[in-house]
A and B are shown apart, each in its own frame.
Chain A
Amino acid sequence: MSAELPPPYTALTKHPMLARTNHDESARFNFLTHLNRYLSGTLGPGNKLAYERRVLPAFREEHGRDPEHRYEIRDWMNEDPFHRMWSALKRNSMEMRQQNGRSTVLRQLDELDAQARQFNEHSGQLELDPKIEQPIYQTAVDIHCQPGGYHGEERPGDVSAGANYDVGIFATTGGALGGLNDGGGQAVVAWAKKERPDWQPRRILDVGCTVGHNAVPIAAAYPEAEVIAIDTAGPSLRYGAARAAGLGVKNIKFVQASGEDLSRYPDGHFDWVQTTMFLHELSAESMPRLLAECNRVLAPGGLILHVEQPQYSPEMPLFEQFMRDWDAFNNNEPFWSAMHGKDLKDVMAGAGFAKADQFVVGVRAVVDRSIFPAAESEEQEDYGRAAVWNAYGAWKPVAKEMAA
């Protein structure tokens, strides 16, 4: 398949829990997939041209200097006719994806709920805790414009949130995450297997797992390990546990819990603590608490790994920072801007991971390239969406023996 073309929606792997699309629902996702690639690839460069050709000169004219912060660029770009139209198109694409995903899921919700119940009653892979409260950073706005967020229900006990997330992420990412939308988790596995070929973690914790796109491939790659995937959002976990059971991955359990309070697990309980595209959905207040808990439950010699889009370092041009900030202000990701503005190494150091033990590596989605070539053709930067990430990690040092 040509690298310029995303695969058709029907190339997705039809696991048992995936909502079935009729002809036109697939076609809508096909349209949105192409539209997203067009908006980032063909029209995206227009933003930089508008900035360099007219916004920046006008800014210099008025202020007698260059912008000093990405927010200054945003204020001025939001007045630019091209950027306004581009942003409006991109926002509409997100909204259309949600409507199509939700109509697909909601019309067949009886079947999906029944199927999930059947899997979850028999698999023992789901442990819900109704006492877990939804944190404010999950409820203040519906993250990435998904009505109800990850935690909302159309009726008690349903799987609509998780099912909608799974059925439409293909369109949002331009078809770059592979047949099971798990290219991120597969990338983490590929990195770990290469880095430590003989490593056999016994217990793995995935924090903020939603439907388990990225935790399930880790469980599948380490079949001897016990994987615990936690999230505060019960409806996503219901779907995720049933999805994993449907895929036949049995060594993963979905547990409703907050990463800010892992008191149910003793110190040093896990050999690997993982978050994937999750930290940006927290808040400045909760992130250090959560990272400190991750450190506490991590065993000496264990791995902590956070996969995110690149942080805004001082070396990153302000215009790129502004473009990467788009989702914060236009796609209901309110912590995205502040989180990416932090030096994650400092934050991790504050949580107890010495800087000397930390590392940053680039990871790229691992997908079946014969069907999903899109992951290879990401030369056009889709700020904040590309299937190329940074992994911020540390191996926790084994305590040195006390000198006699």
Chain B
Amino acid sequence: MTEGIDWIARAGAKPKGRRPAFFDDPAVDRLLSLTMAVVGEVSVLRERLDTVERLLDAKGTISRADIEAYAPDRTAGEERGEMTRAYIARVMRGFQQEVEALENPDPPIMDWVEKFSK
């Protein structure tokens, strides 16, 4: 590890320049940052588990060094890319469906409730 620098603390240094406020309540900005960090770390965990499974499949035994050194071949790279793509599609579903709703807006459900009750 690097001498004389707290690399963990310095990695998160704030860039100079005021950060835009995206939401009226700053707590929402903070919570989104927190959520996205967790979303990212779950993806990392899934990828690590996939590495463990692949190494066990191939060798029946693994070491930490094997995991750190692992680089997927083309097929594995595609399978893992597909896995990450599907994962993001799941966690982002709400936003994606909001786009769909913008494209094909629905009337309020009450409109149908009233229509079918007559």
- Please list the residues of chain A having a beta carbon within 8 angstroms of any beta carbon in chain B: 1-2, 4-8, 10-11, 22-24, 27-28, 30-32, 34-35, 38, 42-43, 45-46, 49-50, 53, 82, 84-89, 91-93, 95-96, 98-100, 102-103, 106-110, 139-142, 145-149, 154-155, 329-330, 332
Q: How far is the CA of A49 from the CA of B102 in the complex (A)?
A: 6
A sample of 29 inter-chain contacts (CB < 8 A) reads A2-B82, A5-B85, A6-B81, A10-B77, A23-B48, A28-B43, A30-B43, A31-B43, A34-B85, A38-B89, A46-B99, A53-B105, A82-B102, A86-B95, A89-B36, A91-B19, A92-B32, A99-B12, A100-B11, A102-B12, A106-B10, A107-B7, A108-B2, A110-B1, A142-B16, A145-B15, A147-B16, A154-B10, A332-B16
Among candidates B5, B72, B102, residue contacting A10 with C-beta atoms closer than 8 Å: B72
Given contacts A50-B102, A87-B20, contact A27 B44 (CB under 8 A): yes
**Residue pair B22, A103 in contact (C-beta under 8 Å):** no
Q: Is B56 an interface residue (CB 8 A)?
A: no
- Is B114 positioned at the interface, with any CB of A under 8 Å from its CB? no
> Closest 6 CB pairs between A and B?
A141-B17, A103-B11, A106-B7, A46-B99, A142-B15, A88-B22
Q: B1-40 vs A: 1/0 string, CB under 8 Å?
A: 1111101101111111101101100000100110011001
By a CB distance below 8 angstroms, the chain A residues around B96 are 42-43
Do A53 and B102 have beta carbons less than 8 Å apart? yes
Contact of B77 among A8, A35, A99 (CB under 8 A): A8
Task: Please determine whether B5 and A154 come into contact, CB atoms closer than 8 angstroms.
Answer: yes
In the complex, B71 has a CB within 8 A of chain A: yes
Interface residues of B (CB under 8 A from A): 1-5, 7-8, 10-17, 19-20, 22-23, 29, 32-33, 36-37, 40, 43-44, 47-48, 51, 67-68, 70-72, 74, 77-78, 80-82, 84-85, 88-89, 92, 95-96, 98-99, 102-103, 105
Q: Select A49's contact among B11, B14, B16, B99, beta carbons within 8 Å.
A: B99
Which residues of the other chain, B, contact A4 by a CB distance below 8 angstroms? 85
Q: Tell me the complex Cα distance, A84–B32, Å.
A: 12
Which residues in A have their C-beta under 8 angstroms from that of B70? 23
B4: min CB distance to chain A, Å:
7
Look across to chain B and name the residue whose beta carbon is closest to the beta carbon of A34: B84
What's the least CB distance linking A370 to chain B, in Å? 9
Determine if A5 and B20 form an interchain contact, defined as CB atoms under 8 angstroms apart.
no
- Given pairs A89-B95, A102-B11, 10 additional interface contacts (CB within 8 A): A1-B74, A1-B77, A8-B80, A28-B40, A30-B81, A34-B85, A82-B95, A102-B7, A106-B10, A145-B15
- Which A residues are in CB contact (< 8 Å) with B92? 38, 42-43
